[in-house]
Amino acid sequence: MKLIDLFSGIGGFSLGFQRAGYQFTEHYFSEIDKHAIANYKHNFPNANYIGDITTIQPANLAGADIITFGSPCQDFSMAGRRAGLAGAKSSLIQYAIALIADIRPSVFIWENVKGAFSSNAGADFWAILQAFANIGGYRLEWQLLNTKWVLPQNRERIYLIGHLAGRSQPGVFPITEDDCPPRKKKKHTNFKPNLVEHSKPTAI
């Protein structure tokens, strides 16, 4: 598939698809953090870096099968000031929505923090849903998932999937904890210190 990974970080979405057995015929990513970019290039040497999301030219990315994006969450987070869509960071989602409207991939996936549900008393989440709906032709499904179902970490995240009519069908959600592979428990071994015997000092 032809994949476009926006706000890519070090490539979590791409790694997930890769481990699920998907192969990339074309692979593009957008990120601004120099360390994340270097890491991404190391993990996916065949991926093409397309720069800052605010400067991407959609004409060069036509025919994409899937767009993934975990847009900045600081303004939605319960731990932040909760500026919501009015914030400088979280408002960047508009660029991803515009690209989806231009490119019209078969599928898009958005990930964000649980606080996106409650930001501005829920108005921000519904505004995002309306923006996706206004693109036209996409059916949406979403769910709050928790990484503790598969990893020893309690991290709740919203996942929203858009399916382009005639090219993809909803049905990914709901997912329950029982649907996830059981977490492997780490085996504990008795610690055996490496003792070094020291000789007694010799009198001078």
Q: What is the DSSP string of 104-116?
A: --SEEEEEEEGGG
Helices (H), the chain: 12-19, 34-43, 93-103, 123-135
Number of domains in the chain: 1
pLDDT at 191: 47
CB 17 within 8 A of CB 11: no
**pLDDT higher than threshold 90 for residue 90:** no
73 is annotated as an active-site residue? yes
> Band of the pLDDT at 198, cuts 50, 70, 90?
very low
- CB neighbour class for 118 (10 Å; exposed up to 12, middle 13-18, buried from 19): middle
Torsion-angle region of 164 (φ positive above 0: left; ψ -120 to 50: alpha; else: beta):
beta
Host domain of residue 109: 2-179
Q: Specify if 100 maps to a domain.
A: yes
Instruction: Check which CATH number belongs to the domain holding 95 and give it.
Output: 3.40.50.150
**pLDDT higher than threshold 50 for residue 203:** no
- Tens of pLDDT along 134-172? 999 999 999 999 999 988 899 899 999 999 999 999 999
Name the pTM for this structure.
0.83
Q: Specify if 195 maps to a domain.
A: no
**pLDDT higher than threshold 50 for residue 27:** yes
Q: Specify if 202 maps to a domain.
A: no
Residues 6+ apart with CB under 8 A from 90: 71, 72, 73, 74, 75, 76, 83, 84, 119, 124
The residue from 6, 50, 66, 73 that is catalytic is: 73
Structure tokens at 117: 């549900």
Structure tokens at 61: 């990315």
